[in-house]
Amino acid sequence: MDKTKKYTIVFVVICFIIIGVVGIYRTITPLPKEKPVAEKTETVETPQKEDTLKTKEDKKETEDKPKKEQQPETTKKEKKQTTNTTTNQTTKQTPQEKSKHEEVKPQKDKVQVSIQGADVFTINQTIEIEKDQSVYDVLKSLATMKKIDINTNGFGPAIYVRGINGLNEFDRGPKSGWKYKVNGTFPSASAGTYKVNNGDTVEWIYIINE
């Protein structure tokens, strides 16, 4: 029994020594490095990852398509807005521009009309005329403006002026009466038919005993 105890004790001691030596050896000698598995996983893509990437790309394309389709609509709207703003800018006028437009009006035709009686009675006035107005029409406009009475015979083209402002024919003699000149000459036409033009000078003169 004593021998067996000794053997067991020796065996246990040897085991402890072996364990200690192995532990020391492991601490001294480093273990062999293993290649990282992550590198393989980075380079090698599984089919599932490819599918997910494709679906993501498809989603991006589908999202980008309506954006691209919406872009021309937005550009059209912007163009319309710019055209509207330009038209609004052109239509909007400053008060100065409006006053200029209002001031520039087509000028009417005018004639110079004068009435010279036997005594002191004399009138000289510029009259605006319309198209196809006669010498009598101009005289009538001046008479209404100056509140002068006109005594006439007939009507229309055959009208004859007998008196102006109370001075009638034959008042100063058997051959006295009213005649008219246009631009310094006595026309042969009646006052109702002779048409005046812009810039003409019309003179009504009372003739005594002529």
- Looking at residue 92, its pLDDT comes to 53
Beta bridge partners of 181: 203
3-state secondary structure 113-164: EEEECCCCCEEEEEEEECCCCEHHHHHHHHHHHHCCCEEEECCHHHCEEEEE
- Looking at residue 38, its pLDDT comes to 43
- Looking at residue 7, its pLDDT comes to 80
Q: pLDDT tens track of the chain, all 210 residues?
A: 567 877 888 888 888 888 877 778 777 765 555 554 444 444 444 444 445 555 556 555 555 554 444 444 545 555 556 555 555 555 555 565 555 555 666 788 999 999 998 877 789 999 999 999 999 999 999 999 999 999 999 989 999 999 999 999 999 999 999 999 999 999 999 999 999 999 999 999 999 975
pTM as predicted: 0.51
- Looking at residue 68, its pLDDT comes to 46
Q: Which among 97, 118, 93 has a CA at the least distance from the CA of 206?
A: 118
Beta bridge partners of 180: 204
